[in-house]
Amino acid sequence: MLDHLAFRTPDPKVIQGATGPWELVIGLEVHAQIASSAKLFSGASTLFGAEPNSNVAFVDAAMPGMLPVINEFCVEQAVRTGLALNAAINLTSAFDRKNYFYPDLPQGYQISQLYHPIVGEGEIIVDMGPGVARRVRVERIHIEQDAGKSIHDMDPNMSFVDLNRTGVALMEIVSRPDIRGPEEAAAYVAKLRQILRYIGTCDGNMQNGNLRADVNVSICRPGDYERYQASQDFSHLGTRCEIKNMNSMRFLQQAIEYEARRQIAIVEDGGKVVQETRLYDPDKGETRSMRSKEEAHDYRYFPCPDLLPLEIEQAWVDDIAASLPELPDVKVARFVRDWSLSEYDAAVLTAEAENAAFFEAVAAGRDGKLAANWVINELFGRLNRQGLGIGQSPVTAAQLGGVLDLISSGEISGKMAKDLFEIVWNDGGDPAAIAAARGMKQVTDTGEIEKAVDEIIAANPAQVEKARANPKLAGWFTGQVLKATGGKANPATVNALVAQKLGL
Ligand code: ADP
Ligand code: MG
């Protein structure tokens, strides 16, 4: 999608087995809850944490005779997501029923899109550090409903069910098996999450289960993946296992690593990997079988008779495309170019759209690098330590900009700027007015500094001897002068004067 930044492809993760090196092949199916206040086929609320079974419409509870009515906004969100991943949008898609029995699925089937998804091929650039990234293909995105939640730990003899989540709209975003290691898998989820948050189609709150991933892992020998890439023939790849429902980046990586080693041990032992669905147990640090694909469910997919095929118009898609915000890759490239930032700093500043907007408000009309340093180190650093988001920052962009203006004009030193920032953080106010009221003014008048230097040199003849013998010791004089002038003197000016007066 984006060639704004040139990048090198990272090396795949290699695991040394007893019989030689192995490589990993990974494909992810990410379930992202669509940001929408109402469910996919009902008007019930999607609010997280509501009283159990309080957000359940008749159709969610599968009452007889109830019919689903599609929520246009959810469709729009899926289209927006597809466009942000530079994917093909299918103007005709259709819903299917995936039949299975489970207590948290009152309908006895999930409405999904198996045969005709709304979004086709797209891609995600997965960043692995400045100048290093992998292009991962997205195979499809389809819309489907979420199930409810069974609760087994409230009573020794009974299970409970909460249907609040039943019918909430999900996007399933399916990648090609283009991911080549645990870190890349985590970086893929992070990049996808970032894009979804930029465009507002998913909150990406992994703890709430708002974004969760099924991860498919297989192993192959070096060279096999390139053969697969050249031919798209899956027989070059190993048999995969799928690990369900990962909602932590750390566990995702641990599960992949464990699973790859498990498969290597099986194959090196002369066995065969059996395609199956597994679960990761973070306490034991291992995956275990949940169900095998052989005995697998026959889901008896068939077109949902309650819903007509979904037809959308190109003009509508074009309108959505026109409303997309600037996306992370483009923003990073622009920040590097327009603000003369390193790719690393640009990536930090653009992690969230709100952070990037704040930075640009600070940097406007000012030195980009100075603004980046202050926003990243002083502001973000402090917000992070206090667990605050940019929206809760006690210092506004205008206030921080005011501090930077005083630095740039030479009115205050870096040290004073930090003190001033501290005051603005705690008490608010206009930085220039505070600096004036508190007499925070850097002395650039060399006459005054010279006088202080002369006095200190005159009062410390022994120290002068030492500094002349070893010029490194001249720093002591600078320190004394800064102290004597109450930190108001510009250190660079003092340094130069000290060296000159000592004849160094
Ligand atoms: P299913 O319908 O059984 O879930 P799919 O063909 O839809 O199978 O693939 C599901 C996921 O598995 C996709 O993300 C895909 O990239 C991944 N995948 C397919 N083959 C492999 C493989 N050999 N190794 C790792 N991942 C794979
Ligand atoms: Mg699947």
Query: How many domains does the chain divide into?
Result: 2
> For residue 30, how far is its CA from the centre of ligand 2 (angstroms)?
10
* Ramachandran area for residue 325 (φ above 0: left; ψ -120 to 50: alpha; else beta): beta
Per-residue confidence (pLDDT) for residue 121, from 0 to 100:
98
Which atom of ligand 1 lies at the shortest distance from residue 176's CA?
16
Instruction: Decide: 444 and 464 in contact? Cβ < 8 Å.
Output: no
> For residue 216, how far is its CA from the centre of ligand 1 (angstroms)?
6
Q: DSSP string covering 428-463, please?
A: ---HHHHHHHTT---B--HHHHHHHHHHHHHH-HHH
Phi and psi torsions of 236, nearest 5°: -75, -15
The answer to whether residue 397 is domain-embedded is: no
The residue assigned the tokens 């050249």 is 230
CATH assignment of the domain containing 478: 1.10.10.410
Nearest CA to ligand 1 atom 2: 114
How many degrees, rounded to 5, is the angle at CA 288 between CA 287 and CA 289?
A: 135
By most ligand atoms within 8 Å of CB, the mutation choice from 29, 220, 221, 273 for ligand 1 is 29
Domain boundary among 251, 279, 312: 312
- Residue 468 to residue 474: CA distance in whole angstroms: 8
Protein residues whose CB sits closer than 6 Å to any atom of ligand 1: 25-29, 174-177, 216-218, 234, 237-238, 240
Contacts of residue 409, defined as CB under 8 A and 6 or more positions apart, other chains included, come to: none
Nearest CA to ligand 1 atom 24: 218
Count CB atoms within 10 A of the CB of residue 51: 9
> For residue 301, how far is its CA from the centre of ligand 1 (angstroms)?
19
Structure tokens at 408: 């740039």
> For residue 175, how far is its CA from the centre of ligand 1 (angstroms)?
8
The answer to whether residue 114 is domain-embedded is: yes
Ligand showing the shortest atom-to-Cα distance for residue 188 = 1
Ligand showing the shortest atom-to-Cα distance for residue 273 = 1
The answer to whether residue 300 is domain-embedded is: yes
The answer to whether residue 327 is domain-embedded is: no
Structure tokens at 423: 């005051």
The answer to whether residue 466 is domain-embedded is: yes
3 state SS of 183: helix
Which atom of ligand 1 lies at the shortest distance from residue 178's CA?
16
The residue assigned the tokens 């600096």 is 435
Residues 148 and 291 occupy one common structural domain:
yes
- Residue 348 to residue 339: CA distance in whole angstroms: 14
Domain boundary among 289, 312, 335: 312
3 state SS of 285: coil
> For residue 217, how far is its CA from the centre of ligand 1 (angstroms)?
8
In sequence order, the β-bridge partners of residue 220 are 23
Ligand showing the shortest atom-to-Cα distance for residue 293 = 1
Ligand showing the shortest atom-to-Cα distance for residue 136 = 1
By most ligand atoms within 8 Å of CB, the mutation choice from 184, 216, 275 for ligand 1 is 216
Rounded to whole angstroms, what are the CA distances from 405 to 351, 383, 440? 26, 22, 14
Per-residue confidence (pLDDT) for residue 1, from 0 to 100:
36
Please name the helix (run of DSSP H) or strand (run of DSSP E) that holds residue 261, with its range, or none: helix 249-268
> For residue 255, how far is its CA from the centre of ligand 2 (angstroms)?
18
Q: Which domain holds residue 466?
A: 446-502
Quote the crossing angle between the two packed helices 182-199 and 72-84, to the nearest 10°: 130
- Cα 229 to its chain centre, rounded Å, is 28
The answer to whether residue 423 is domain-embedded is: no
3 state SS of 260: helix
Nearest CA to ligand 1 atom 14: 27
The answer to whether residue 271 is domain-embedded is: yes
> For residue 229, how far is its CA from the centre of ligand 2 (angstroms)?
20
pTM score > 0.85 for this model? yes
Per-residue pLDDT tens, the chain, 504 aa: give them: 345 567 999 999 999 999 999 999 999 999 999 999 999 999 999 998 899 999 999 999 999 999 999 999 999 999 999 999 999 999 999 999 999 988 899 999 999 999 999 999 999 999 999 899 999 999 999 999 999 999 999 999 999 999 999 999 999 999 999 999 999 999 999 999 999 999 999 999 999 999 999 999 999 999 999 999 999 999 999 999 999 999 999 999 999 999 999 999 999 999 999 999 999 999 999 999 987 765 556 888 999 999 999 999 999 999 999 999 999 999 999 999 999 999 999 999 999 999 999 999 999 999 999 999 999 999 999 999 999 999 999 999 999 999 999 999 989 988 899 999 999 999 999 999 999 999 888 777 778 888 888 999 999 999 999 998 888 888 899 888 888 887 778 788 888 889 888 888
Nearest CA to ligand 1 atom 6: 176
The answer to whether residue 425 is domain-embedded is: no
> For residue 433, how far is its CA from the centre of ligand 1 (angstroms)?
62
Which atom of ligand 1 lies at the shortest distance from residue 242's CA?
12
Count CB atoms within 10 A of the CB of residue 33: 24
- Residue 360 to residue 390: CA distance in whole angstroms: 13
Nearest CA to ligand 1 atom 5: 174
Domain boundary among 312, 329, 357: 312
Residues 116 and 260 occupy one common structural domain:
yes
3 state SS of 244: strand
> For residue 243, how far is its CA from the centre of ligand 1 (angstroms)?
11
DSSP at 94? -
